[in-house]
Amino acid sequence: MLEIQEVSGTEGYESVIARAGGADIHITEALDKGRAIGFIAYAYGTEQTTVYACDDGGDLMLCDGLVRSVMLKSALKGIERMEFALTDDAAYTQLRRLRFLTEDSRVCEDLSSFMNGCESCKHNS
């Protein structure tokens, strides 16, 4: 069973932490039978959440789950903006396919509305 949960330590993520330049990094991992199969590294700011790394192994649905988990946590903190500061340009392709980002943007605005956008989907056939 797939679980997505924040980890308490940062062991093994030293290179991500170094790239974040001293930001207070949080790591959320996707676990399958207790084994990490993906992660997302991010930091909360007063105005936005910044995502520094995301590894979904090329799985579009895993990318969706990891990003949405951070979006939800950000929205619950009153943060409505998420910036992606990724070093892997290919990762932006996944984010655009999922419509988290538009063409040349690296920012997703109005997270609460984005998260609530699917509420009416069940009514659309």
Specify the pLDDT at position 125. Answer: 45
10-residue mean pLDDT profile of the chain (125 residues): values are 89 90 92 94 96 94 95 94 92 92 90 65 47
Give me 69's structure tokens.
């988990």
Distance, C-alpha 78 to centroid of its chain: 16
Specify the pLDDT at position 117. Answer: 56
Q: Which fold has domain 2-123?
A: Aminopeptidase (3.40.630)
Specify the pLDDT at position 101. Answer: 93
Please check whether residue 31 is in contact with residue 6, taking contact to mean a CB–CB distance below 8 angstroms: no
pTM comes to 0.88
CA 1, 59, 41, 84 torsion: positive or negative? negative
Specify the pLDDT at position 21. Answer: 87
Q: What is the DSSP string of 13-59?
A: -HHHHHHTTT---EEEEEEETTEEEEEEEEEE-SS-EEEEEEE-TT-
Specify the pLDDT at position 115. Answer: 66
Domain boundaries, the chain: 2-123
Specify the pLDDT at position 104. Answer: 87
